[in-house]
């Protein structure tokens, strides 16, 4: 429901939205239930594939960067996985742009939170206010000036609003979330629902919780990123995934206008049916896309293992490193494989000769190299990916 704002607050709106606590009273349609079934199947196939892959954490590491890239682009940046990897290739943190640093923060937040959730146990009870605040603190930790402080790890202290237009002479407020004084109690209500048993399928709950956290808009900035991270962690907490090998942000980015329209329609018209269909379709589509990329990465990793089974240990170690850091310099390679510079240089030269690595620049010192085949899989357009079934059959 909408509530009035006092006229003396000096804000460009006269009302804010106060969402009802979860859960809404819904009679799930056959259409929604069919979407749930398809999404559950796609997520199950993805998770089943991951459990069969040795060294899955290494092989599928690039998919974390893919999610960070897509999440960053939802926010309007042009950051790519290449930007992130190149920013870390030589360990020069000072040279990173704010947008790249935020994307890298997202990777770190997902790593930290998933490690914590797996250590504490994959349970809805372990999705807590502290976890969500810690997510926000990590995501927003660096890259800001004191004058542009997102208050990392703190709920917002004042009103927030979402504008329809970015044109300052044509300011139009699209949506105003609850006033700051309500945020603490609303987040407590939300987490009470998250931590309790539900009458709805877990996939429906992920969609409900994502709507609620985006509508409460608990932080000064970074709400979208935190909301997408919570959705990933909730999939793990609900035992829909073993680890957050998944990225929802790509679907949101490709359907940005419909995404915001569907969220608003729930608030204004109670259009839960349409929201559930939209969001759950996204879970299915992205599970299938992730499975395609994961299958290709696994296939490439297996081919490297067979090709270099009798090769030097330095080369074998470096091949594993490339799935975690596809861009690197020789000093970085030496550090990562824990060998001397000459050994690392020899391994790099061997992989350059074999077209596994390619030199990015023409410098003679501090040369930078890229694992082209890995990056091709990571950056390939979704429309150009094979279907999961065709990859798994090969």
Prediction pTM value: 0.92
- Of 195, 203, 61, 56, which is closest to residue 121 (Cα–Cα)? 195
pLDDT in tens, 108-126: 999 999 999 999 999 999 9
pLDDT of residue 1: 75
The whole-number average pLDDT for the span 281-285 is 97
The separation between CA 385 and the C-alpha centre of its own chain, rounded to angstroms, equals 20
Q: Are strands 327-329 and 357-359 parallel, antiparallel or unpaired?
A: unpaired
pLDDT of residue 366: 83
CA distance 105 to 331: 24
Helices 129-139/180-194 angle, 10° precision: 120
Using DSSP, state whether 351 is helix, strand or coil: helix
If you ran DSSP here, which 8-state letter would residue 162 be given?
Answer: E
- Of 368, 385, 227, 222, which is closest to residue 299 (Cα–Cα)? 385
Angle ∠(136,138,143) on CA atoms, nearest 5: 100
pLDDT of residue 150: 87
pLDDT in tens, 138-186: 999 765 545 578 899 999 999 888 877 555 555 678 898 999 999 999 9
- The widest CA-to-CA distance across the chain, in whole angstroms, is 76
Residue, of 179 and 393, whose pLDDT is higher: 179
The fraction of the chain above a pLDDT of 90, given in percent, is 77
What is the per-residue DSSP string for 222-261?
A: -HHHHHHHHHHHHHHHTTS-SS-----HHHHHHTHHHHHH
pLDDT in tens, 54-79: 889 899 999 999 999 999 999 989 99
If you ran DSSP here, which 8-state letter would residue 167 be given?
Answer: -
Q: Most confidently modeled of 136-145, 245-254, 349-358?
A: 349-358
pLDDT of residue 50: 92
pLDDT of residue 334: 97
- Of 244, 220, 277, which is closest to residue 113 (Cα–Cα)? 244
Look at residue 231 and tell me whether its pLDDT is greater than 90. yes
Residue 8 φ then ψ, to 5°: -90, 5
- For the chain, list the domains and their CATH numbers: 2-6+26-291 (1.10.3290.10), 312-393 (1.10.10.10)
Cβ neighbours of residue 149 closer than 8 Å, sequence gap 6 or more: 220
């Amino acid at each position: 429901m909408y509530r009035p704002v006092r006229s003396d607050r000096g804000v460009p709106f006269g009302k804010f939205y106060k969402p009802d606590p979860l859960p809404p009273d819904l009679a799930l349609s056959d259409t929604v239930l069919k979407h749930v079934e398809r999404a559950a199947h796609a997520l199950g196939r993805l998770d089943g594939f991951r459990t069969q892959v040795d060294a899955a954490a290494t092989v599928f590491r690039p998919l974390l960067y893919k999610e960070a890239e897509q999440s960053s682009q939802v926010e309007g940046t042009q950051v790519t996985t290449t930007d992130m990897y190149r920013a870390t290739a030589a360990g020069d943190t000072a040279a990173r742009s704010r947008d790249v640093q935020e994307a890298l923060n997202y990777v770190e937040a997902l790593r930290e939170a998933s490690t914590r959730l797996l250590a504490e146990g994959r349970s809805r009870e372990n999705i807590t206010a502290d976890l969500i605040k810690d997510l926000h603190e990590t995501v927003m930790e660096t890259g800001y000036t004191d004058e542009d402080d997102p208050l990392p790890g703190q709920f917002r202290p004042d009103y927030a609003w979402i504008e329809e237009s970015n044109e300052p002479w044509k300011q139009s407020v699209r949506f105003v979330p609850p006033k700051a004084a309500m945020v603490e109690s609303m987040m407590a209500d939300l987490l009470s629902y998250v931590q309790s048993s539900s009458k709805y399928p877990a996939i429906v709950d992920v969609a409900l919780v994502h709507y609620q956290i985006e509508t409460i808009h608990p932080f000064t900035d970074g709400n979208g990123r935190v909301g997408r991270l919570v959705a990933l962690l909730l999939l793990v907490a609900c035992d829909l995934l073993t680890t957050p090998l998944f990225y929802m942000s790509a679907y949101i980015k490709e359907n940005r206008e419909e995404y915001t329209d569907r969220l608003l329609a729930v608030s204004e018209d109670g259009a839960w049916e349409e929201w559930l269909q939209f969001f759950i379709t996204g879970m299915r589509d992205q599970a299938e896309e992730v499975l395609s990329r994961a299958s290709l990465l696994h296939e490439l990793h297996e081919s490297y293992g067979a090709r270099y089974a009798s090769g030097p240990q330095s080369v074998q170690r470096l091949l594993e490193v490339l799935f975690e850091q596809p861009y690197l310099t020789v000093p970085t390679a030496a550090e990562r494989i824990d060998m001397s510079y000459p050994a690392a240089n020899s391994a790099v030269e061997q992989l350059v000769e074999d077209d596994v690595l390619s030199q990015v620049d023409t410098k003679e010192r501090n040369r930078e190299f890229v694992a082209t085949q890995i990056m091709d899989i990571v950056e390939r357009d979704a429309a150009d990916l094979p279907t999961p079934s065709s990859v798994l059959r090969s």
